[in-house]
C-alpha cells in the first residue's frame, strides 16, 4: 500500500471476466455441485436464467481482493459484511472497487465500502470491510 489512507480515497478497481473454466475450477475447489454454475441447459431451461450463474461467494472473494491487494503487507482484513443482490453470468465482465469511509491514523483501523458491479452499473454485491493497518 503506497499512499497514506484518507477518507473518500478510491482503491484501484479490477475487472473480472467471468470465465467458464474459472467457474468450474472455483466450484470444484469448494465441492459445489450446483448445476446453475456449469450446466447451461439446466440453468437456462429449468431455472430460467439467461446463462451460467457466477458463484455468489466468488463475487465475495473479489470484494476481499480489492482491499487485500491494496493493503498488501501493510495490514489485514478483520471483517466483512456483504450480500449477493444481483446475479453475474459467465461471459460478463464485472468491476470490483472500493472507497475508504473511516480511518483512524492512531489505531490504524480502517473501514471501506466495496462493490462488484456489472457493465450496466448495477451493484451485484455491496459490502463493508474492516481492516487493521500494522502499527
Partner 1 sequence: MTGLLSTEVLSHIGQQTDPQREIVTRRDIRKYAVATGSRLQKYLDGDVAPPLFHLHLFWDVVPLDTLSPDGVFTDHLLPKFPLEKAMAGGLDIQYHQPIKPGDWLTATRTLSNIYEKAGRSGALIFYEVMMEIRNDSGELVVSEKTTRILR
| β-strands 109-117, 93-104 pairing | antiparallel
Residue 64 binds partner 1, judged by CB under 8 A:
yes
Nearer to partner 1, 19 or 119 (CB): 19
> Cα separation of 66 and 56, whole Å?
16
Residue 7 binds partner 1, judged by CB under 8 A:
no
Nearer to partner 1, 7 or 79 (CB): 79
Taken in order 52, 92, 18, 131, the sign of the CA dihedral is negative
Interface residues toward partner 1, by CB under 8 A: 16, 22, 25-26, 28-36, 39, 42, 46-47, 56-58, 60-62, 64-65, 68-69, 72, 76-85
Amino acid at each position: 500500500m503506497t499512499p497514506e489512507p484518507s477518507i473518500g480515497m478510491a482503491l484501484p478497481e479490477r475487472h473480472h471476466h467471468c470465465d467458464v473454466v474459472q467457474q468450474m475450477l472455483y466450484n470444484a475447489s469448494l465441492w459445489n455441485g450446483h448445476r446453475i454454475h456449469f450446466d447451461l441447459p439446466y440453468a437456462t431451461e429449468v431455472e430460467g436464467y439467461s446463462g451460467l450463474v457466477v458463484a455468489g461467494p466468488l463475487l465475495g472473494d473479489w470484494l476481499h481482493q480489492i482491499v487485500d491487494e491494496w493493503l498488501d503487507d501493510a495490514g489485514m482484513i478483520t471483517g466483512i459484511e456483504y450480500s449477493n443482490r444481483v446475479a453475474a453470468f459467465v461471459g460478463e465482465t464485472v468491476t470490483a472497487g472500493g472507497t475508504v469511509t473511516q480511518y483512524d491514523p492512531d489505531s490504524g483501523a480502517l473501514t471501506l465500502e466495496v462493490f462488484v458491479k456489472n457493465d450496466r452499473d448495477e451493484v451485484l454485491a455491496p459490502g463493508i470491510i474492516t481492516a487493521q493497518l500494522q502499527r
